[in-house]
């Protein structure tokens, strides 16, 4: 279950209320109820907000993104990227003649 689902946070609120019923101290019980209320508020916020991630355009153009390092996880299958390197990367470092000509 995703943490962005309001069902998850409503279930957490119910767990906090059940714990609050078991508490003998007034302050502890009050804090548990406040935590449950905050979980409920968070669930309502998730229900009312639009699905923001679906409408956001990617910030990096695809032609640039393919050269960016990929996020790796230990369980992820290694992905082989098949593309041709740009000319400025193929050329290599400048030679002494090229450096002398530019001065």
| Mean pLDDT across 5-22 | 90
6 contacts: CB under 8 Å, gap ≥ 6: 43, 44, 46, 47
pLDDT of residue 69: 63
- Does residue 38 fall inside a structural domain? yes
Query: Does residue 95 register a pLDDT over 60?
Result: yes
pLDDT tens digits, one per residue of 44-91: 888 887 665 555 555 666 666 666 666 665 555 556 666 777 776 777
Q: How many CB atoms lie within 10 A of CB 14?
A: 13
pLDDT of residue 4: 66
- Does residue 92 fall inside a structural domain? no
- pTM value > 0.75: no
- Does residue 40 fall inside a structural domain? yes
Domain that holds residue 27: 6-52
In whole numbers, what is the pLDDT of the chain averaged over residues?
A: 76
């Amino acid at each position: 279950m995703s943490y962005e689902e309001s069902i998850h946070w409503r279930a957490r609120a119910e767990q906090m209320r059940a714990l609050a019923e078991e508490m003998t101290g007034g302050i502890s019980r009050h804090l548990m109820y406040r935590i449950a209320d905050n979980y409920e508020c968070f669930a309502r916020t998730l229900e009312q907000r639009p699905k923001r991630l679906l409408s956001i355009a990617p910030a990096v153009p695809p032609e640039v993104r393919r050269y960016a390092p990929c996020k790796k996880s230990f369980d992820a299958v290694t992905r082989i990227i098949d593309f041709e390197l740009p000319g400025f990367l193929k050329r290599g470092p400048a030679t002494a003649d090229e450096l002398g000509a530019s001065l």
